[in-house]
């Protein structure tokens, strides 16, 4: 568990540095599945366009004169449909670690 200790120490010691680093290491943040890199699809497979929102991730609702945009409920705003979910993370894109 060396990584966890290092992470805590750096939070205490160099909060300002961490703040600036967050933007650059955004794609390597903890918890992203290393198999699919957070794409949620099995490596080698492509997610399909969500048919409900046509890939936009949003649904347009008309209520009288009002037009509301809502996140698509089928793909939860992602615009993609995972056809072959990544196995280690079960399609969540988040690395699942065994409980201590």
E-strand ranges in the chain read 48-49, 58-63, 66-71, 80-81
Between the alpha carbon of residue 32 and those of residues 17, 18, 40, the distances in Å are 22, 18, 10
Under 8 Å CB-to-CB from 34, ≥6 apart: which residues? 95
Residue 82 is a binding residue for Zn ion (CB under 5 A): no
Candidate ranges 2-10, 11-19, 23-31, 89-97; the one touching Zn ion (CB under 5 A):
89-97
Residue 75 is a binding residue for Zn ion (CB under 5 A): yes
Q: Which is nearer to Zn ion, 48 or 74 (CB)?
A: 74
Q: Which is nearer to Zn ion, 18 or 81 (CB)?
A: 81
Single out the residue of 35, 48, 49, 71 in contact with Zn ion (rule: CB under 5 A).
35
């Amino acid at each position: 568990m060396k990584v966890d200790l290092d992470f805590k120490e750096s939070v205490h010691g160099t909060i300002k540095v961490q703040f600036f680093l967050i933007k650059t290491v955004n794609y390597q943040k903890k918890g992203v599945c290393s198999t699919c890199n957070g794409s949620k699809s099995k490596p080698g497979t492509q997610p399909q366009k969500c048919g409900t929102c046509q890939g936009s991730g949003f649904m347009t609702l008309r209520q009288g004169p009002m037009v509301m945009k809502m996140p698509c409920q089928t793909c939860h705003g992602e615009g993609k449909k995972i056809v072959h979910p990544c196995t280690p993370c079960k399609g969540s894109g988040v690395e699942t670690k065994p409980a201590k």
